Amino acid sequence: MAGPQRILALGGASLLPSSTDGPLHRYLLELAGRERPRICVIGTASGDNAEYLASFYAFFARRAEATHLGLFDRRVADPAAFLREQDVVYVGGGNTANALAIWRLHGLDRALRAAWDAGVILAGPSAGANCWFEASTSDSFGPEIGPLRDGLKLLRGSFCPHYDSESLRRPRYHELVGAGELPDGYAADDGVGLLFEGRDLSEVVASLPGASAFRVERRRGNQVEETPIRAKVIRP
């Protein structure tokens, strides 16, 4: 039988050796419930950047059976079958709009939904979190942050990553939600993960104390209410 539908949306996370986000990535692997889970990275949002893929393998290959699905030099004939064989699919950061467009050309939008339905855990930071929602804040179309309303819609509402690390994210997200340009949703600081089971938020975790997630909702008169969501700090 298929396992539960789970998505871990990360506000921002690094795979570099100097990063403090290792606990978040180990938490992700633990969700799979296997000693060496199978994990596949999809790096479309960064153009299958070789350095990013190297960082992925440097962290995960010691702890899991790691692989990747490249679309710029595609070697996998049946992505849907390939993704269903994984325990975890990790989507890297970068340009959300470009990733979504390329996925749809290759049928990866359907393949990811089928993997989610089959119990494969979906995860990722920044663009790798934006993509699962109906809509998000994005700098896909230039330096200014704007609304992106063309997500995969596995999760309801909108998402805003990098809530604490990019000074314009918070006010812009409030502006877009208040004006009705984005639906109500969630925001996350860097180093924070929101775990969804089905379409419901079940847990919020953080790699460092003080980092948080937020529920952001439109009220009367274009006002916005921001509600902090306590995060469980994952110890190294």
CA distances from 235 to 10, 33, 45, 98, 211 (A): 17, 19, 30, 35, 13
CA separation for the pair 10, 223 (Å, rounded): 26
Q: Show which residues are catalytic.
A: 126, 162
From the number of C-beta atoms within 10 Å of its C-beta (0-12, 13-18, 19+), residue 2 rates as: exposed
Tell me the one-letter amino acid at 183.
Answer: P
Within a 13 Å sphere around the CA of 150, how many CA atoms are in the beta-carbon half? 15
Q: Which helix (H) or strand (E) is 227 found in, with range?
A: strand 224-229
3-state secondary structure of 198: coil
Strands 224-229 and 213-218: antiparallel
| Angle subtended at Cα 90 by Cα 63 and Cα 141, rounded to the nearest 5 degrees | 145
Instruction: Tell me the sheet residues that pair with 204.
Output: 194
